[in-house]
Chains A and B, each alone.
Chain A
Amino acid sequence: MPTDPATPRVVLETRDVIKTYFLEGIEVNALRGVSLTIREGEMVSLMGPSGSGKSTLMHIVGLLDTPTSGQVVLENVDASTMSANQLAELRNRYIGFVFQSFNLLPRTSALANVELPLVYSGVSGSERTRRAKAALERVALANRLGHFSSQLSGGQQQRVAIARALVSNPSIVLADEPTGNLDSKSGIEVMAMLQELNAQGITVVVVTHDDRIARHAQRVVRILDGRIQSEEIVRQRIQAADELRDLPAEEVAG
């Protein structure tokens, strides 16, 4: 639904989310009431040190987990009490994941990896290949379709993962420490790609502990001890494309 351009519609909202789990019999209060709103076209960073609860929040935002109490509303659907299979279908439709360790299928071509979400949404073979190719073109890997993930560099693997996240036109691309396993240059490239996709209108949520990575987003949400500590609009947003330009020329090649 198109709304007032000044306040784009809400894609995902958490209301008073509490998550408690037991780790070897000890009660862990991972989230103690988190209310978060993500609007269409935004690029948001969820930032916090390890143990802050940001991973738990990411799992709940990504519908990999359900809250102990509170609500998670994605595209106007309350997902907080859904079954595992219903969550799987929502993830398939609305969420694209980019993980720190890429999480591509081994011994599987880049194309087949990107096709994976479409396999589970029942898209037919030829249509699937067409869309997967288009997604790989968007991440500038059209020449690597048949390569296995093991034949690709870390940066390329992460771009395949981004293509996989994009291929089903999700509402949110959720990137969990997307640069954590990359060298700095590949990391900058990946951030540039996420910013570029965001500029094209895709909602991006980046989960990170790194302040510098966080400041690639328009808004940073800081998590500490299971609560939102602060939210700020980034004044001087880092533009990864500029950083890339400033790198010495020989390092840009490839």
Chain B
Amino acid sequence: MTSTSENPRLALDPHVDLGGGGVAATAAAPSRRRRPQGNGGWRMRLEIAALAGPALVVFVLFVIFPVILAAYYGFFSWAGYGPATDFVGLRNYVTILQDPTFIEALKHNVMIAVLSLVVQGPIAIGLALLLNRKMRGQSVIRVLIFVPYVISEVAVGLGWSLMLQSGGAANGLLEKVGLGDLRQDWLSNPSLAIWSLLVIITWKYVGFAVILFLAGLQGIPEELSEAASIDGASYWQVQRLIVLPLLGPTIRIWAFLSIIGSFQLFDLVYIIWGQYIASTAGTSTMATYMVVNGRNAGSYGYGNAVAVVMFLISLGIALLYQRFLLRRDTQGAISGDKI
């Protein structure tokens, strides 16, 4: 912490006179890169180190390094204390992949990922287009749409589990409007529980998608839509032919975040179904499996192996996604520096 709090001050000091290199080429135009003269070269390197260093150090130490740690401990049967000595090779991995509970959990993750995209995507695009229009009370509506996203998973989980439990408000409401026959055990009926979970997930996270899409919409020059509507395009034609294609990169990035989030889903399931009944209700995920069979069972070696499996699955998805969809969007940013 001390090093990270010192560096910004050093880097942000407006009175540091660096002279030298002046404006080096920006990322956007690598072809016009100017060779920095004199001591500008090392000054620039110093600036780069001072500015990017703190973020890199924290990131590598707490994001990258734990994955390496997990890969190491995954080969051991280890209770979490003292040095890991009981090397078991790939046995943890064999156990995981042969465990039907894990396979079930993985299936739930896949289902949640697919349905989140299919359900949340269209709703969020519609909402973002709606909120992008000028209308009375717009700012109030924007705030309200985001309310579920702002509320903690714990509060959401508690509230929804009280509403959906068999004696809860959902069934109470059905009874009141004369649909008492539709009363269900929304949370523990294995054929319903995952759908309840999906409703809650949609309710909770659609606001995040809307925020991203709204930001994307703001980046689309208004002149384009104006020109099109002067040429006689209807509102919907403008949205479909101009706005949506330009929103493409934002949608692809959201979809990526949503898929990855679905594969890491933990909080809501663990809070609503607890550590014991998630698998019987059919809502367990890889992450709840990891926590239940790793930390809670005192098998840290095994838990780390599950983490590695989750990581590899996410990595595989990310690489595929990057290969087929995302490349176009990040291309400009990354390939700008082909040396």
A, B in one complex: no
Chain B residues engaging chain A, CB cutoff 8 angstroms: none
Interface residues of chain A, those whose CB is within 8 Å of chain B, are none
